[in-house]
Structures are given as C-alpha cells and as structure tokens.
Amino acid sequence: MLKVFVMGKKFLIMGWIQPAFQLQILEGRRIQQLQMYRAQMATVDIARLDRRQPVARTQSSPATPTLPHPAVDQPIQHSLMTGVVYDTLMLKHQCLCGSYNNHPEHAGRIQSIWSRLQESGLLNKCERIRGRKASLEEIQLVHSEHHSLLYGTSPLNRQKLDPRKILGSVPQKLFSLLPCGGLGVDSDTIWNELHSSGAARMAVGCVIELASKVASGELKNGFAVVRPPGHHAEESTAMGFCFFNSVAITAKYLRDKLNIGKILIVDLDVHHGNGTQQAFYADPSILYVSLHRYDEGNFFPGSGAPNEVGSGPGEGYNINIAWTGGLDPPVGDVEYLAAYRAVIMPIASEFEPDFVLVSAGFDAVEGHDPPLGGYKVTAKCFGHLIKQLLTLANGRMVLALEGGHDLTAICDASEACLNALLGNEPLPEEVLHRSPNVNAMFSLQKTTEIHSKYWKSVEPYVVPVSCKLAETQKQEREETEAVSAMALLSVDVEQSFPEEHSRKNVHWLKIVKLL
C-alpha cells in the first residue's frame, strides 16, 4: 500500500514512511483516484492502438481513438533512410483529473503529430524505430542520483530503495495537490504515480536509440516524436513540463559511449532551455545555441541572456539569441532567418560538429497565444532551418520534440521538418530577402558583439542608420508623451477639466499624484 508524507499543502508519495505518519483521509483519496484512473484505462481498446487503418485529416486530434503504431515487428532493412520513433507508453503520462483543458502538455500532442505524419504519407518514406526506456545509468549522465530515482522508478521499486538515495541531501522533492485534483511537481508539471516515470524514461530512450542508429550509419537522420519534453529539466530539478533532459542525455551518451567528438545542439523552442545550458556551460565539446523569447528576463524561464556565454573551458560555447521587445511586433520568419545567417550557421560551420541534435520545440510557430509564445514563425520556415542544419556533420542529425501546444501548429511544423529531413524544402524565395524588425536587429547586434570575440566567422551585426534613427525618434516620442502626461497630472483639477468631469476624475488624479 502507498503511504503519503504530508508537509503543509504538499506531500511526497513514498513507500518507506512509518505507519505513524499516515493520513488516512488523504491516502484514501489518493487510492480512490488511482482506482478511477485504472478504470478509465481499462476501457481503452488496446487492440485499436496497434491496428493500422487509413487516417483522415480530421483525426489529427487528441480525441481520435485510433493511434497508428509503428510496424516494428516487420524485418528491418537498413538503407540510410530517415528514422522516426514513437511509443504509445508516452501517452499514459496524463493528469489524474483526466482533462486536457487544464494542461497544455498532454498526450494529444504526440498523438496528433503521429496521425498527421501517417495521413500525409511521410511515415511510409521513413524507417520506424522501436523505442525503449532509458536506463537509470543513462539518465545519470546528466541528472543526480536522487533525481533519477525519484522520477525514474515505479512505486513498487521505489519502496525497495534507501530513502536517502531518493531524497538527496535535502528533502525538497514534494508533489503538490493541484486544483484539478491531480498531482504535480509544480502547477504546470503534472505527475502520474503509475505512468509518468515510465513515459519520461521512454522519451529519453527513444532519442538515444534513434541517435545511436544515426551515429552508427544505419540511418541518415531522424525525428523523435516524444513526450514529456526535456530541455527545462536541470540536474536535480523538474520544471516546465520536463523531468529528464532527453537531448542533453543523448549528447553525453553520444560523446561518452559512442566517442562522438563534437556535438551541436540547436534549441528552437520559444522558451530558453535552461537545463541544457546548465548541463554544458563549461563544456567546449558541446556547442549549445538557443533562439528564444527573452524580453529582458521577463519570459519563462527567465534565463538565456546574451551574456550567458559559458564558463571556464566552455566560454564562448553557449550562445543565446535572446529576442526582446515583446510582441510589438512579434518575431517571425524573417528574424529567424536573419539569426541563422548572422550567428548560427557561421558559428556552426566554424565549430565543425560531428553530430547535430535539435531541441525541436514548436511553440514559436504561429498559432500560439502570447502566454505560450505569441510569435509568427511559419511551419515552412522551420523546415527551411532544418534543411540548413543538414549541411553540417554530413547530415547526421536527430530532432527531438520539445514544446509546442497548438495542435495545428505542431502538426504543421512536424510535417515540414520531416519533409526537410527527407530532402524537401518548400520556403518561398521572397521571404529570404526581407529585413528583420528593429527589435530583432538590436538583439542580433548584441549577440554578435559578444560572440565576435570567440568566433572568427561572426561579424558584428550592423543596424542600418535609418532604423537607429527611427528607434531614437520612437524613444523620444515616448519620453515626450510621458513628460506631457506627468505635466497634465500636475495641473489643478478644476483648471484642467470642466466641472462636470472634475468630480469624476479628481479621485483618480489624486491617486496618480500619490503614486
């Protein structure tokens, strides 16, 4: 029987707590939730999950019960194809509340992508790879022992372990009871005691397995349709929907186990990959490049400033293209293409990687609301970016799904990226010759000024004089308007407003004056 350790409003599900600490009411509720969940899972016709059927476009939806599954039982004939990997075990990482509405990161994400790739005919052109769970030893290439055991073991196996190995030096790893009735590491990152550990390990193992086959030459490149995502997971911290950093673990596996010398990681997610940056901040053998919404640290997770360049021997090998200026205007295709021309491709070519890993977060794709991104990059642009990266490392590259929560957007982006891996590239020519917006120009100027010290191929990005003048005039107008507004507030109310308006505004003006 599971036992629950309670501290305030949070609790840790563990199997070694003494009976004196049990809270019968809370435990009864937990057991009831588990029973309800098992009953829900029992109603799923598992046979349908493995049945290959023609899929209509409208089935790219989390509500679609038919899940085409990789035909992994057929004999494999290796022929330098593009590989794809996916496993239905990752669908079981769901909140106990059973609702997608409260949780942007849900099983319907990968279910929808897999259906789209099936119905588009792209899967028939790829080799489907059987996934596997990563071992705890593999996970500990990046994560601490207690983090790996806490989030990587089943309840039954966890009961057999020394509690000190689970908790580490400080027992901080507590699960919260969420408003929806489920459990979470935080308000975003849900936890399912029965299935989350298996799904998280499967996500890591799928990426490792695919990358290993590309590294050995069995495949030319590949795309891992996996969840939960990973790039926010730090050495001993789960956050931002992430438990284990799949891409970071795979990078260390390639280097330490398969002797791949230099690895490039490109993070396309609209959120900065704080966990990946942490893992390689002092490592010159792994170059980390991230394009993300930064807004001077006011966008989640708040890290990824341009001057975060690495430390010690890794100085200069951590590159952040940190977009600022909010959504006025939103960043789009032109800005991402400019970043590739000015920063990413010159540095990547100079670095000469032996392998490329892409944290393929698709939440910068148009269709995401401002809290989850708000940018306007098109799916076709993402395909073009992947096509450029294929010119590196003799094309040895693996994409691993990270974020992205608008189902249409992530399906479109996945289709475009897989098309690129297969050799297709559909970006309209005229997009390549436009100029980025002023905010993006200043962001690129800051990044290139910093990294031109470390890389010979990087030249400082020059913002045109006309743009500088326009920006200066804009700032002057804003300052003038602010001064005028303050001056207006300092005028006596009776002199500034007609009598009928003064009574309605006097209280508000007094408040502003106090501020």
In the Cβ-directed half-sphere of 45, how many Cα atoms lie within 13 Å? 7
Quote the distance between the C-alpha of residue 55 and its chain's center. Answer: 28
Burial zone of 135 (CB within 10 Å; 0-12 exposed, 13-18 middle, 19+ buried): middle
3-state secondary structure 426-474: CCCHHHHHCCCCHHHHHHHHHHHHHHCCCCCCCCCCCCCHHHHHHHHHH
Task: Report the DSSP pairing between strands 286-293 and 175-177.
Answer: unpaired
Burial zone of 460 (CB within 10 Å; 0-12 exposed, 13-18 middle, 19+ buried): middle
In the Cβ-directed half-sphere of 62, how many Cα atoms lie within 13 Å? 20
**Residue holding tokens 């991402």?**
336
**Catalytic residue selected from 232, 271, 272, 368:** 232
Question: Is 368 a catalytic site residue?
Answer: no
Q: Which tokens in the block code for residue 402? A: 């990270």
403 dihedral zone (left: phi>0; alpha: psi -120 to 50; beta): beta
Question: For residue 383, which amino acid is it?
Answer: G
**Number of neighbours of residue 244 by Cβ within 10 angstroms:** 27
Quote the distance between the C-alpha of residue 47 and its chain's center. Answer: 32
Instruction: Give the catalytic positions in this structure.
Output: 232
